[in-house]
């Protein structure tokens, strides 16, 4: 039986505060650089129109927000996260990229998004929805702030579909990844939490149904890199 990890908001925020200085480095190393490719696929899935306003929920150090702004020169992005340290590192990257006029970071909770109703043309979450204590509330909030017909793209870890690769990946994910994560981040539990939280996350078909039940249509899960990651694409239900 899979044990559900502790997702108390204060605990999760504190964990990400602690690993923020080495978070980007570990993302690149532990994914062999594939995390950047996965984010680009999420940007593609949004199919943004000129001048779009995009919400990047659980923005972390703003990698996805920056990718959106680079790809779409006239888009504006609101990045929301509850880890103050992650946002500080993200703000430095935004200033370095000279994107301060187009990306605005806000500290906030995914369950109470600090944006008005129907004000966003698209939304993204990269590897953050599984860290939310009540993902259904976050999905309902996303539906609230998105305009009817707006696009949603969610990236989340999964399990490879090919049996032999699945076994090898499970070994890497459960043993090698936490060891490397502890060594580089100097945090004893963050990279043990990662495989535990992925293991407790629902399989793609189940999560698709959850998204459909919270204001979205045309929901599908697209496997990336042999199913290591799923890209969930959805459209905010049009007004009646």
For the chain, the domains span: 9-236
**In DSSP terms, which residues pair with 154 in a beta bridge?**
125, 232
Contact 145, 120 (CB under 8 A): yes
Per-residue pLDDT of the chain (240 residues; tens, 9 = 90+): 455 688 888 888 888 888 889 889 888 887 889 999 999 999 999 999 999 999 999 999 999 999 999 999 999 999 999 999 999 999 999 999 999 999 999 999 999 999 999 999 999 999 999 999 999 999 999 999 999 999 999 999 988 888 888 888 888 877 777 777 677 766 767 677 877 888 889 999 999 999 999 999 999 999 999 999 999 999 999 975
Tell me the CATH number of domain 9-236, given options 3.40.190.10, 3.40.50.150, 1.10.10.10, 3.30.300.30.
Answer: 3.40.50.150
Pairing of strands 53-57, 76-81: parallel
Whole-number Å distance between alpha carbons of 46 and 150: 9
Please report which residue ranges of the chain form alpha helices under DSSP H.
Answer: 9-30, 34-46, 63-71, 84-96, 135-145, 163-171, 177-185, 190-200, 204-212
């Amino acid at each position: 039986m899979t044990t559900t990890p502790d997702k108390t908001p204060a605990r999760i925020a504190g964990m990400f505060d602690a690993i923020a200085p080495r978070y980007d480095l570990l993302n690149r190393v532990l994914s062999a650089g594939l995390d950047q490719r996965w984010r680009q696929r999420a940007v593609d899935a949004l199919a943004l129109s000129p001048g779009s306003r995009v919400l990047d929920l659980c923005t972390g150090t703003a990698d996805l927000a920056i990718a959106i702004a680079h790809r779409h020169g006239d888009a504006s992005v609101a990045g929301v996260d509850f880890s103050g340290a992650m946002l500080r590192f993200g703000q430095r990257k935004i200033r370095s990229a000279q994107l301060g006029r187009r990306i605005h970071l806000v500290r906030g909770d995914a369950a109470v998004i600090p944006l008005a109703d129907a004000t966003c043309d698209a939304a993204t979450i990269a590897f953050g929805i599984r860290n939310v204590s009540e993902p259904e509330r976050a999905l309902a909030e996303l539906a609230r702030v998105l305009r009817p017909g707006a696009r949603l793209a969610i990236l989340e870890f999964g399990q490879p579909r090919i049996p032999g690769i699945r076994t090898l990946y499970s070994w890497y994910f459960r043993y090698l990844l936490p060891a490397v994560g502890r060594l580089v981040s100097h945090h004893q539990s963050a990279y043990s939490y990662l495989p535990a939280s992925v293991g407790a996350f629902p399989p793609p078909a189940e999560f698709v149904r959850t998204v459909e039940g919270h204001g979205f249509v045309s929901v599908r899960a697209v496997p990336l890199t042999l199913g290591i990651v799923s890209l969930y694409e959805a459209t905010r239900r049009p007004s009646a």
